[in-house]
Amino acid sequence: MLRYQRTLRSEVYLEGIGLHTGYSVRLRLIPAPPDTGILFRRTDLKNFEIEAIRDYVARVSYATTLMKKGVMISTVEHLLSTLYGLAIDNLYIDLDSMEVPIMDGSGKRFMEEIEKVGIIEQDRLRKYVVIQEPIEVRFGDKFAGVYPDATPKATYTIDFEHKAIGRQEIHLELTPDSYRREIATARTFGFIADVEYLKRSGLIQGGSLENAVVLDHSGIVNNHLRFPDEFVRHKLLDLLGDISLAGYPIIGHLCAEKAGHAMHTALADKIARQKGRHRICTLEDLEPAAVAQNAG
């Protein structure tokens, strides 16, 4: 685990379209001072700021949307996941539209551009949410939870009737290296049968075969999978983006089954509110306790 906070070495500039709005958007990732956190700024609205925290979660239908004083930023989960996975704590995210660009439907392009400029340590200790008691959100056979564990881990399970997906599970120790290898390039997915309904609902206006794995009743419509279990890997990508809204990286075991953005963000909210079940501290705060336990 990392001891110090991190940001980018220099700016990253990206352009793309919003998955749901179809609008063109220009995006800049700008290094920020220690203890800034992740801060969105709408440059088309006089740099209006929205902090990437659970207080501002507004919608979770097919994407995670933040809203503050009526100003929205939609589909934040893939970018936030990349920042969480690569352990970037402080960043200004400037964009000139209401939706983060979808790129190829994964975190791949964000990760590649970030790694081109590099990540630097800052002179401030990194804070963690250390889980001390289980925290769960359940609805029928769906759930999302986090449990005490000395090492950040995640387990995700999905179960779809579609023959190209079926039941898939991934279990991973969460590090920047494992995120790069196993999660960042997993693309979002959707079903042809849902396309017309979603378009009539004003969604996926920018959706295409270039930014999602698309399925029909017989199988995968476009291209090949990047992983045999790319579907569950993308769900874990979504979970990490949504759970980042709890405010700090988590030391504990994240678990989810058949969940989605609504349950992910509900868990982030519950973590932030149930202060008696976790503590916020640095690794230096934890080490005396670990030394004492080993001595015992």
Supply the residues annotated as catalytic: 261
Q: What is the DSSP string of the chain?
A: ---EEEEESS-EEEEEEBTTT--EEEEEEEE--TT--EEEEEGGGTTEEEESSGGGEEE-SSS-EEEETTEEEB--HHHHHHHHHTT---EEEEESSSB-B-TTSSSHHHHHHHHHH-EEEEEEEPPEEEE-S-EEEEETTEEEEEE--SS-EEEEEEE-SSTTT-EEEEEEE--HHHHHHHTTTPPPEEEHHHHHHHHHTT--TT--TTSSEEE-SSSB-SS--SSTTHHHHHHHHHHHHHHGGGSS-EESEEEEES--HHHHHHHHHHHHH-GGGEEEE-HHHHHHHHHHHHH-
